[in-house]
Amino acid sequence: MANSEINFYQCFETLARSVAPLLLKVLEENKKVLIYSNQTQIKEIDDTLWSYGKNKFIPHITIFDKDFDLKRQPILISNKEENSNDADYLVLTEPASESFVSGFSRVFYFYDALRAEEAKKLAKKYKPLASKFESYKKDDVKWVKNPL
């Protein structure tokens, strides 16, 4: 039974800068998010969130940070398919297994133009998991629907 909402976002700026505004909204909703990424992107996302804006530090940790209670973290960036912070939402910058994806109420997959074909294949895998599925791309300053 599909019970999650899955959205795909084609980015034209860095993945990290595209993800940051979403993370601010998630924090406003008092929800937790797990960002599933590869090791290179973890560093890029981590660096971006530390310096996203003058007054917009986005609180987060990575799976490599020590001495933190993962369950208490609103944003965890990881390369492991484990919901270590009991997140409500999942942000993907890398494909993940259907069983992992299906454990979240909302899923956001961010990809760049170079990975558009991969995104189409992934959309076919993830659509059956979703009660609602949408795909977007950036049109100047706003996200517009972009059928996959």
pLDDT at residue 56 greater than cutoff 80: no
Residue 41 contacts residue 15 (beta carbons within 8 Å): yes
Collapsing DSSP to helix, strand or coil, 27 comes out as helix
3-state SS string for 70-96? HHHCCEEEECCCCCCCCCCEEEECCCC
Confidence of residue 94 (pLDDT cuts 50, 70, 90): very high
pLDDT of residue 55: 66
Q: What is the CATH number of domain 4-141?
A: 3.40.50.10110
Q: Could you tell me the pLDDT band of residue 92, with boundaries at 50, 70 and 90?
A: very high
Q: What percent of the chain has pLDDT over 70?
A: 96
What's the angle, vertex CA 60, arms to CA 138 and CA 145, rounded to 5? 15
- Which pLDDT band, with edges at 50, 70 and 90, does 76 fall under? very high
Residue 1 has pLDDT above 60, yes or no: no
Q: Would you kindly state where each structural domain of the chain is located, as residue ranges?
A: 4-141
